Chain A
Amino acid sequence: MHIMWFTERAYHYLPEEEVLKRRSFFGVPNTFFDAEKGAKLLNQYLDEKIYSDELGFDGVMLNEHHGTPFCMGAVMDVEAAVLARATKRVKIVLLGNPIPTVANPLRLAEELAMIDMISGGRLVPGWVRGAGSEQLANNANPAYNREYFDEAHDLIMAAWTKPGPFRWEGKHFHYRFVNPWVLPLQKPHPPIWIPGLISPETVKWCAAHKYPYVALATMLKPTLEMWDLYTNEAAAHGYQAGPENFGYLQPIFVHETEEKADELGRNFLFGGGFANFARPEWMFPPGYNSKEATRRLASLYANPNLPGKTLVPRHLHSMNDIAAIKKAVYDNYDTAKESLQIITGTPKSVMPKLRHVLEVLRPGIFSFWLDGPAPRADRMTCLRLLGTEVLPAVREIGKELGLADPFQVAPGSRPLAASGRPERVGSPRALGAN
């Protein structure tokens, strides 16, 4: 099992009301950004990642968002570069670079190649389409988002593996002299993992490419459905999916006492949390979603952990009653805990809940997610307890459940049963037992 640590690197020093009144982190004017405070925080987040390396985590996971206090990793490759030298052992897992927004994917191929070289081959790059708001922030046409994604992906892979110079005449990208003189250390190319909010198109695409799919803190049941979709698609491509094909990101808050852990957990909902990532019209700009995805999202409306799906009853918006909105946001806390969307407790008390998640989803990749404007000392305590107590216990469970990660079993290498029918990877039975 590959165990990682993740945080959004949020900028927390902004009035919560500014987010709540817009129902969105994205779009809060950057006049609220204080560079001194931001710089200090950003370095603290790097300290945490370096500490994770020392604690024995297998991976440090980064993500990227633009134009939002929700995440200061506007160009996460900058942080990845820092970590390439400042850490010794961990994998640097990028979930993921929003390739439709970078405009010059060849430069990204070079950037990542250099990071892989500097880190001694510890890079795990991943790709995302980018949230809707990333398209706005970068002015990347959302109507061509998936076309950009596919083409940028193919171009980067070609730049890494095909001898140069060669010509690339695509629909959206054009190069007549592709011949990079920095190339990844890992051959034929670094392992690629893909994160997502369980959009079926992406899940199917991952299965076709034998890329592990990492679900970002989505509800267990629909996540399992996506595992099945992946597994069936994998079978269509002639292989049996296993734990090595799946990953899961889990918000978790651990402290010495239940009360303190609870306090941390509540902070996760600061500003409305992930649900207020961006307004729906910014999450889903024109042409960004396929019809199928739009319909699926509609059916998942009850999922509190999807951005752009406000937690707050509609009538409150017009009242502009910030206090009431705030109350509604924090009232959701218990529900989120019940559904294990948030896990809190002491190292001891979180274990049964984590075991449950692992038994249901059986992921080979697992990441802890800590966020919210908690005091630094508490964050460090949480991280220390995760590293010294929870991580070893999770490793044991992983062994017991046979959760192979992509470094132990190459994704796509498991043979399919002679019948051609794939075995399910997750366990709906375990889910029902909860």
Chain B
Amino acid sequence: MHIMFFTERAYHAVPEDEVFKRRSFFGVPNKFFDAPTGARLLNEYIDEKIYCDELGFDGLMLNEHHGTPFCMGAVMDVEAAVLARATKRAKIVLLGNPIPTVSNPLRMAEELAMIDMISGGRLVPGWVRGAGSEQLANNANPAYNREYFDEAHDLILAAWTKPGPFRWEGKHFHYRFVNPWVLPLQKPHPPIWIPGLISPETVKWCAQHRYPYVALATLLGPTLEMFNMYAKIAGDLGYQAGPENFGYLQPVFCADTEEKAEEMGKNFLFGGGFAHFARPEWMFPPGYNSKEATRRLAAQAANPNLPGQITGIMDHDPVDDADLQKLKKQLYDTYPQWLKQSQMITGTPKTIVPKLRHVLEVLRPGIFSFWLDGPSPLKDRRRCVELLGKEVVPALRDIGKELGLEDPFTRTPGSVKVSGKAEPVGRPELIGEAMSA
């Protein structure tokens, strides 16, 4: 089992009401950004990652968002570069680079090759289409998003593996002299993992490419449906999907006492949390979603953990301060529901391990990442990371062994051949048990 640590590297000094009044982190004017505070925070987040390496985490997961206090990793490759030298052992897992927005994917291929070289081959690059708001921030046409994604992916892989110089005449990208003189240390190329919010197209695409799929804190039921869709396609392609093909990101808040852990967990909803990542019209700009994906999202409208899908809370922007306070209260009132659905796990090392065991039993992921966020004091964060690293990680490792959760480094994804029908993965029947328990 590959165990990682993740945080969004938020700029928490933003006034919370500025987010609530827009029902969105994206779009808050950057006049609220104070560079010294941001610089201190960003370095604290880097310190935290370095500490995780020392604690023995297997991977340090980074992500990228633009133009939002939700995440200061606007160009996460900068942080990945820092970590390439500042850490010794952990994989640097990028979930993922928003390749439709970078405009020059060849430069990205070079950038990542250098990071892999500097880290001594510890890079795990991943790709995303980018949230809708990334398209706006980078002015990348959302209607061509998937075409950009596919073509940029193919180009980067070609740049890494095909001898140069060669010509690339795509629909969206054109190069006549591809011949990079930095190439990844890992051959034929670094392992590639793909994160997502369970869009079926992406899941299918991952199964076809034998890329592990990492679900980002989505509800267990629909997540398992997607894992099984992956497994079915894998079976059609002649391989049995296993834990090595799947990953899961889990918000976990660990402290010495239940009360402290709870306090940290509540902070996860600061500003509305992930649900207020961006307004729906910014999450799903024109042409960004396929029809199928739109339908699927509609069916999951009750999921509080999908950005831009805030239903049953308030259908309008707050009109005045009283309205804003009402929205805020409604949002924080969803907290027990999050816990109930295992969308968030809080507690002491002792109490959270059984809850984590449940998630692992249901989903059987070979890749697992803790997610810590929210404007908690630095010392509480550090203590959380310490407890996770020293107490929870060893316990999870044992559970992983017991459940046979192979990761992509212990078993190559796609390497288990199967003829005919593939076995489903995960244990959907266990989901209900937790709900009642």
Contacts and interface: CB of A to CB of B under 8 A. Distances in A.
A385 to B, nearest CB: 26
Interface in A62-105: 66-69, 72, 74-75, 77-79, 81-82, 84-86, 101-104
Contact of B181 (A33, A106, A110): A33
Given A39-B117, A111-B78, A137-B179, A179 B35 contact: no
A382 B371 CA distance: 47
Contacts of B33: 181-183
A178 B27 CA distance: 10
B56 interface: no
Nearest to B175: A139
A101 B175 CA distance: 12
Contacts of A102: 103-104, 107
Nearest to B105: A103
A164 B46 contact: no
B35 A183 contact: yes
Contact of B118 (A43, A68, A136, A137): A43
A36 B184 CA distance: 9
A179 B118 contact: no
Given A117-B42, A118-B39, A46 B118 contact: yes
B43 A38 contact: no
Contact of A106 (B38, B138, B178): B138
Nearest to A42: B117
A11 B114 CA distance: 13
Interface string B92-128: 0000000001111011001101111110110000000
A69 B116 CA distance: 18
A35 interface: yes
A36 B182 CA distance: 11
A103 B104 contact: yes
Contacts of A33: 181-183
A395 interface: no
Contacts of A78: 77-78, 81, 111, 114-115, 118
Contacts of B72: 114, 181-182
A184 interface: yes
Nearest to A186: B35
A142 to B, nearest CB: 12
Interface stretch (A24-32, A298-306, A322-330, A416-424): A24-32
A163 B114 contact: no
A77 B185 contact: no
B177 A177 contact: no
A139 B169 CA distance: 11
A382 B45 CA distance: 37
B11 interface: yes
Interface residues of B, number: 64
Residue of A120, A121, A175, A179 ringed by the most chain B CB atoms within 10 A: A179
A86 B84 CA distance: 11
B180 interface: yes
A132 to B, nearest CB: 12
A75 B111 contact: yes
B29 A163 contact: yes
Contacts of B118: 39, 42-43, 46, 78-79, 82
A210 B61 CA distance: 42
B303 interface: no
Contacts of A376: none
B103 A104 contact: yes
Given A67-B177, A136-B177, A138-B104, A104 B138 contact: yes
Contacts of A74: 107, 110-111, 113-114, 180-182
B337 interface: no
Contacts of A38: 117, 182-183, 185
A136 B164 CA distance: 13
A365 to B, nearest CB: 25
B220 interface: no
B102 A104 contact: yes
A115 B30 CA distance: 18
A123 B36 CA distance: 14
Interface in A113-172: 113-118, 120-121, 136-139, 163-165
A107 interface: yes
Contacts of B86: 82, 85-86
B82 interface: yes
Contact of A182 (B38, B77, B114, B139): B38
A139 B177 CA distance: 8
A110 B66 contact: yes
B102 A107 contact: yes
Interface string B12-37: 00000000000000010111010110
A174 interface: yes
B136 interface: yes
A187 interface: yes
A370 B88 CA distance: 29
B165 interface: yes
Nearest to B117: A39
B316 interface: no
Given A46-B85, A104-B104, 15 more contacts: A33-B182, A35-B184, A36-B185, A42-B117, A67-B165, A74-B114, A104-B103, A107-B102, A117-B42, A179-B137, A181-B68, A183-B33, A183-B35, A185-B39, A187-B35
Interface of B: 11, 27, 29-31, 33, 35-36, 38-39, 42-43, 46, 66-69, 72, 74-75, 77-79, 81-82, 84-86, 101-104, 106-107, 110-111, 113-118, 120-121, 136-139, 163-165, 174-185, 187
12 contacts: A33-B181, A35-B185, A66-B107, A74-B114, A75-B107, A75-B110, A103-B103, A104-B104, A106-B137, A106-B138, A179-B30, A182-B33
